[in-house]
Amino acid sequence: MKKNGFSLIELLVVMIILGILAGLGTVSFRGWVRKNELESQAKEMYTDLMNARLTAMHRNTNHIISLSGNKMSGSVDTNGDGVGDTGLCIWGRHKGDPVDGSCPDDKSLSYKKLAYPMTWNGSATLEFNARGLSNTNKTICVFSTLNPSHDCIVISSTRIRMGKLINQSGGCNDANCEAKK
């Protein structure tokens, strides 16, 4: 006897299998999205540090970066006293903004909030002088079990390099961060 179509049992089995596969795919996709966000944050931090360094050279002034757990702030030291002057910013610049570095209240902030907390070695401040040189060596890390391709930044007096943590349970230092060439 020849049957046309599917039985109700066969249809239910196929629907259950598709539901399980969709659930597994959603969990995997969510992890991939979080990993991508973490990598994006590390790359954005790298870009911001490079921009601060280049802007310090371009404006011939010192730029100070301050780090806190989930925030990175920047300021310009116009008088050379080692303290960032208030009302000045280095991020969030827009075409038509004042060239003196002042932050328009409606467009810019002098800090960036970060989705994933970071850690670093040494003091919480970093300064780029008018020649673009850093005043200290520093490593900035974002520890995570997501295993992103970039999760640390190594800053030396003349270079800023992105890297990958060798050991997630190790410390945040240049020995634990394999810098990408």
CATH code of the domain containing 174? 3.55.40.10
pLDDT score for 96: 53
Residue 42 lies in a domain: yes
The pairing of beta strand 138-141 with beta strand 152-155: antiparallel
Burial of 144 by CB count in 10 Å (0-12 exposed, 13-18 middle, 19+ buried)? middle
Q: Helix H segments across the chain?
A: 8-59
Q: 105 lies in which domain range?
A: 38-179
Q: CA torsion angle for 106, 107, 108, 112 (degrees, to 10)?
A: 110
Cα separation of the two ends of the chain:
69
C-alpha distances in Å from residue 148, one per residue of 29, 50, 138: 14, 21, 20
Residue 18 lies in a domain: no
Helices (H) and strands (E) in the chain, counts: 1, 9
Model confidence at 74: pLDDT above 50: yes
Residue 67 lies in a domain: yes
Confidence of residue 1 (pLDDT cuts 50, 70, 90): very low
How many angstroms separate the CA atoms of 83 and 39, rounded?
A: 31
Model confidence at 165: pLDDT above 80: yes
Instruction: Give the residue, 109 or 130, on which the prediction is more confident.
Output: 130
Q: Kindly report the CA angle at 66 between 111 and 158, in degrees rounded to 5? A: 115
The whole-number average pLDDT for the span 85-102 is 55
Residue 20 lies in a domain: no
The whole-number average pLDDT for the span 37-49 is 90
Residue 76 lies in a domain: yes
Residue 13 lies in a domain: no
Residue 23 lies in a domain: no
The whole-number average pLDDT for the span 45-62 is 89
Model confidence at 52: pLDDT above 60: yes
The whole-number average pLDDT for the span 66-73 is 85
How far is C-alpha 84 from the chain's CA centre? 22
Mean pLDDT of the chain: 82
Residue 25 lies in a domain: no
Q: In total, how many domains does the chain have?
A: 1
pLDDT score for 108: 43
